[in-house]
Amino acid sequence: MSEHPRLSVVLITWREREAIERTIPALIEQFEEGDELVVSDNDSQDGSLDAVAELAPNATVVRNGDNLGFTGGCNAGAAAASGDLLLFLNPDAVPQPGFVEAIKEPMRAAAGSDGGRRWDAWMGLVTSENGRIVNTDGNEIHYTGICWAGGDGRPASQAVDSPQEVPYLSGACLAVPMEVWRRYGGFPPPFFIYHEDVDISLRVRLEGGHVGIEPAAIVDHDYEFTKGAAKWRRLERNRWAVILRNYPTALLLLLLPALLATELAMLVVAAAGGWGRQKLLAIGDTIAALPRLFRERREIQARRKISAAEFAAWLTPDLDSRYLGRASRSPLLRALLRGYWALVRAVLRVPAPERAPGPGA
């Protein structure tokens, strides 16, 4: 760790000209000596790279020649970066004043004599609607693998206001020291997009590491959850990839009935929501990927340094996202999910986390 880290900001572009015309100026005006911008372009063809050349002529540009997705784009951008600290920033996440200095602070603190925050990776506070509301102040993960932006929709005045650990990081603004990034081998390319942030967060935690939030580092995100039916295929496919790669065996076996019940419920929800075909395709994707996923699982679990109980401590039984509809509002479902989780916690002897991942967890 360095007390004077050089920051490498990796922006992934794919038809993002309008967004980066707001983000890049707000970012580079805060750069300190040695900081750099790396633009990893997934064959935008909308003038995005013309905008980069005009706004940041010193930026390093990686031309991927095809759409490698968020994961492939991040990996390519990181490979071209030279800084001590990598920051993956969504092209529509505009840094607010003081952001660059604040996002470096955990690395500076870790290099100090007291060890500082001792995080292996961290995120900034992500707001939305010009800073009016929270987009995420630490993402949440249900024990069935369903994930969402923690605190989404709350007034920004109610956001986390001090550095602390979080269940998992948001890929909209994710910082990781270069040495840590290389140790974990980056994001898994088959994910393409979605859940790569939860996957790397859980891998860090499995090896005894920590992930946190630096709330003084604020970006304002032009966030929109709905992006077409194809999003659901990737979300569901990658949800299962996260579970199969990362959940310790004891936890996975205890959760098997709940996971199977969730599959049945998701099929009903998908059919009612008009994305039933995408859900079936996600199931097919997962089945086809099983040999690879189990191979990756063996490699990941071989490096595990914490117990299943310690891992489970950061999962929540409550579906508290406004995007989950009636499932998040049903008292009966909440009671059933909490009851099941209480049994799992009792069997595993799950300790309380330093920060509770959700009400009643």
Q: What's residue 8's pLDDT?
A: 98
When pLDDT is cut at 50, 70 and 90, the band that residue 360 belongs to is very low
Secondary structure (3-state) at 303: coil
When pLDDT is cut at 50, 70 and 90, the band that residue 359 belongs to is very low
Average pLDDT taken over every residue of the chain: 93
Q: What's residue 325's pLDDT?
A: 76
- Cβ atoms of 174 and 7 within 8 Å: the answer is no
Mean pLDDT of 265-288: 94
DSSP E strand stretches across 156-261: 164-165, 173-177, 211-221
When pLDDT is cut at 50, 70 and 90, the band that residue 354 belongs to is low
For the chain, percent of residues with pLDDT exceeding 70: 94
Nearby residues of 317 by Cβ (< 8 Å), 6 or more positions away? 142, 143, 334, 337, 338, 340, 341, 342, 358, 360, 361
Q: What's residue 225's pLDDT?
A: 66
Q: What's residue 361's pLDDT?
A: 41
Secondary structure (3-state) at 331: helix
Instruction: Please give the structure tokens belonging to residue 256.
Output: 């098997």
Dihedral sign, Cα of residue 288, residue 232, residue 22, residue 14: positive
Q: Report CA 42 to chain centroid distance, whole Å.
A: 20
Q: What's residue 245's pLDDT?
A: 98
- 74-83 pLDDT per residue, tens: 999 999 999 9
- Separation of alpha carbons 235 and 197, rounded Å: 12
Q: What's residue 328's pLDDT?
A: 73
Domains and CATH numbers, the chain: 7-221 (3.90.550.10), 232-348 (no CATH)
Please name the amino acid found at residue 99. Answer: F
Q: Judging by DSSP bridges, how do beta strands 85-89 and 60-63 pair with one another?
A: unpaired
Least confident of 101-105, 209-213, 262-266, 328-332: 328-332
Q: What's residue 215's pLDDT?
A: 97
- Separation of alpha carbons 125 and 196, rounded Å: 18
When pLDDT is cut at 50, 70 and 90, the band that residue 116 belongs to is low
pLDDT exceeds cutoff 60 at 123: yes
Q: What's residue 357's pLDDT?
A: 45
pLDDT exceeds cutoff 70 at 84: yes
- 300-332 pLDDT per residue, tens: 999 999 999 999 999 999 998 877 777 778 899
Would you say the pTM of this structure is higher than 0.85?
yes
Tell me the HSE value of 272 on the side-chain side, using a 13 A CA sphere. 8
Mean pLDDT of 229-241: 93
DSSP E strand stretches across the chain: 7-13, 36-41, 60-63, 85-89, 93-95, 121-128, 133-136, 140-141, 147-148, 164-165, 173-177, 211-221
When pLDDT is cut at 50, 70 and 90, the band that residue 69 belongs to is very high
Mean pLDDT of 319-347: 89
Mean pLDDT of 214-228: 85
Q: What's residue 329's pLDDT?
A: 80
pLDDT exceeds cutoff 60 at 358: no
Mean pLDDT of 229-258: 96
Q: What's residue 115's pLDDT?
A: 52
pLDDT exceeds cutoff 60 at 131: yes
- Cβ atoms of 111 and 2 within 8 Å: the answer is yes
